[in-house]
Structure 1
Amino acid sequence: MFHRIRRRAKNPSETQGRFAENHAQMQGQVPPGSGVPAPEPEAAEPAAVVDDFLPPELRVPSHDQVDGRMMPWAQPLVLDGEMAACAECGAYRDWLILSTRGEIWLRCRAGHQQQETRIDTAWYNRHAGPATGTYATFEDCLHHHGY
């Protein structure tokens, strides 16, 4: 079997022969336009300046333009195997989770706030949905979420 493979390898195939012939014919040829300087581009009229940004009422502020974000969390919040509860009234569900300046705060329905160190901003970003609006004041945002 191996002697047939070696015999076949000694003689070039028909395709290899055609390639060698074409290569020999093209050896002395130069592509058209080679060595000729490229024509100078025509001076175009300056394009009109168009504001391609969204109108101000449709723009979403970036993370550094807002003081914080908040989302409702209706079910009990279980962190590290234990349920989070309000330190003042004992509420354990229906939270408003606030993310501001790299800190996470929990606000119960009664209006008590406590910092939650077991949650970080990455956790908040994973669980928060898209922003439903921007508000001028903290109270406006609380009112929007029904607190």
Structure 2
Amino acid sequence: MFHRIRRRAKEPEAQRRFFELSEQMQLQGQVPPEVDRVRADLEHAVPTAAVDDFLPPELRVPSHDQVAGRITSWTQPLVLDGEMVACATCGTYRDWLILSARGQIWLRCRAGHQQHEPRLNTAWYNRHTGPADATHATFEDCLRHLGH
């Protein structure tokens, strides 16, 4: 580790000396033969056609601003601030769907009751979920995909 730190400290000095030598060579009219060869190669180079390197539309993943929200399943009990979260309507405390939409987090129980959870935010959601395995056109399609 200290080896890298010492090397970094010496790099600016080496760069300064390189630039000084380059300036001296230019003032004296000395140019290495490789420079002339590279310049000639560049002048005679045939321009290549531009290639579209983007994925085809069917393989592109929508960006965060093209998606209305994201959902993940959470089978174990959800504990926030030392308190187990339970559904306000039916009292269920496990097997949640966690919805992230417009900067808010919503919890949905197996019975279909939804409640806003202000103690959670998008950063928490991003830390605790993996990459999306599918995209769906409707909310109902997503629920079917997740088995709800």
Pick the TM interval, shorter chain. Answer: 0.7 to 0.9
Tell me how many residue pairs correspond in the alignment. Answer: 116
Amino acid at match of 1:112: H
In the alignment, what sits opposite 1:63? 64
- TM-score, normalised by the number of residues in structure 2: 0.72
Question: How far did 1:45 drift?
Answer: 3.9
CA-atom RMSD in angstroms? 2.0
Structure 2 counterpart of 1:75: 76
Report Cα offsets for 1:67-87 as digits up to 9, x if no partner. Answer: 000100000000000000000
| Residue 97 in structure 1 maps to residue 98 in structure 2 | yes
The residue type equivalent to 2:31 in the other structure is G
Q: Which residue matches 1:33?
A: 31
Deviation at 1:31, TM superposition (A): 7.1
Classify the secondary structure of the residue corresponding to 2:58.
helix
Counterpart CA distance in 2 for 1:94 and 1:31 is: 77
Q: For structure 1, which segment, 88-97 or 47-56, has the greater mean C-alpha deviation from structure 2 after superposition?
A: 47-56
Secondary structure of 2:137 counterpart: coil
Give the CA deviation at 1:33. 2.3
Q: Which residue in the other structure is 1:146 paired with?
A: 147
Flag structure 2 segments of 5+ consecutive residues without an equivalent.
1-27
Match of 1:117 in 2: 118
Give deviations 1:75-110, integer Å, cap 9, x for gaps: 000000000000000000000000000000000000
TM-score after normalising by structure 1: 0.72
Name the aligned partner's letter for residue 141 of structure 2: D
Letter in 2 for 1:122: A
What is the Cα deviation at residue 56 of structure 1?
Answer: 1.2
Unaligned runs of 5+ in 1: 1-29
Please identify which structure carries the higher helix content: 2
3-state DSSP of counterpart to 1:97: strand
- Secondary structure of 1:142's counterpart equals helix
For 1:107, give the aligned amino acid: R
4+ residue segments displaced more than 4 Å: 38-41
Higher radius of gyration, 1 or 2: 1
